[in-house]
Structure 1
Amino acid sequence: MNIAYFLLPKNRVAYLYDDYTFRQGLEKMRHHGYTAIPVISRDGKYVGTVSEGDFLWRLLSDERDSQRACSMKDLEQLCVRDILRETQYLPVRITVSMEELLSSAMNQNFIPVVDDTGSFIGIVTRKDIIRYFAEGKSVSEKPFLQKIV
């Protein structure tokens, strides 16, 4: 099965640019109500995914280091790229199998999809992956799902 059918394209996905300030990133996440959001460079390359936890841990580490509460004004100097963790939300290519997507979806809300050049083209949501395995699989393919459950 081609995952392009499940792809939510970039133009329908909220994302942050890696050069956004800490404040801009936090405000956009709050506006959309997401707990995690993809981060891309200005040339469209997937950089990573930032979560609420990443913002919170950064706030806590600054407060601990300086022994004073930091203001949003202080955080204007900090970019989203500065708080990214490298191992989260690894991207996949459009040619990935649904079984590989299922494996990734066990640990993340969505899977970022990139093209052959590493440019961000969209996401596949966990909800769509679960729906695919719950509804549309043929009888011969169901044992894979039973092994996981």
Structure 2
Amino acid sequence: MQENVFFFLTMKKDVTFFYDDLNLEEGLCLMRKHGYTAIPVINTKGEYIGTINEGDFLWYFIDHPETTYETIKSTPIKDLIRPDFTPAMMIDATVEELFDQSLKQNFVPIVDDRNIFIGIVTRRRLLHHLMKTQKEIRRYPEEEVYVQS
């Protein structure tokens, strides 16, 4: 079977994601509730904006020591997103590109040709597939072929 990105995809409906207008307080509370350290962020059109992680909140508070509770309630999480952090890949990316990108991040956001977020591929899922494939190779090694001279 020839795998493609869709083969590894966790669909958007099964992924925890944030909308970009969520405020810092809500974002922190939801991250704690769900237990994730990084979460994809989309806008109201469904376009992938970026990924936010716990460190983004920490650096925001360090960089803005004057932050008040009112600021936390009025600052949207989109203000914390780093442009090059956890870039998305297109659904038609090759599996090799997907594996390469997964070496740099825990999950790879997947978008369509309009940048609409459709889901993620986790590094765990890719590793599980590799382990399963490796077991299959060990179970059914290629038969040796003897050539007569």
TM-score (norm 1): 0.84
What SS does the aligned partner of 1:73 have? Answer: helix
Q: Distance in 2 between matches of 1:133 and 1:96?
A: 18
User: Which structure would you say has the larger Rg?
Assistant: 2
- For 1:113 and 1:77, the matched residues in 2 are separated by 29
RMSD: 1.5
* Counterpart for residue 91 of structure 1: 88
> Hey, what does 1:112 align to over in structure 2?
109
Q: Determine whether 1:17 maps to 2:14.
A: no
Shift of 1:101: 1.3
Deviation at 1:136, TM superposition (A): 2.0
Aligned mates of 1:35, 1:106 — CA distance in 2: 17
> Could you tell me how far apart the structure 1 residues matched to 2:95 and 2:18 are?
27
- CA shift, 1:86, in A, is 0.4
- Amino acid of the residue matched to residue 115 of structure 1? D
Residue 39 of structure 1: aligned partner: 41
Give the C-alpha shift of residue 133 in structure 1: 2.2
Question: Can you give the 5+ residue segments of structure 2 that lack an aligned partner in the other structure?
Answer: 138-149
- How far, CA to CA, are the matches of 1:86 and 1:30 in structure 2? 23
Tell me if 1:129 matches 2:126: yes
Alpha-carbon offset, residue 27 of structure 1: 1.1
Seen in structure 2, the aligned counterparts of structure 1 residues 23 and 105 have a Cα distance that, compared at 3 Å, is same
**Aligned ranges for residues 49-68 of structure 1 at < 5 Å?**
49-63=51-65, 66=66
1-side partners of 2:92 and 2:131: how far apart?
21
Q: Give the Å deviation of 1:107.
A: 1.6
Shift of 1:135: 2.2
Q: Deviations over 1:66-97 (max 9, x none)?
A: 3xxx3433311211110100001110111112
Q: Which amino acid aligns with 1:58?
A: Y
Q: Does structure 2 retain, via aligned residues, the 8 Å contact 1:98–1:129?
A: no
Letter in 2 for 1:60: I
Percent identity over the alignment is 38
For 1:87-145, what per-residue CA distance to the aligned partner results, in whole angstroms no more than 9, with x for missing partners? 01110111112221111111211000001110000000000111222322686xxxxxx
- Number of residue pairs matched by the alignment: 134
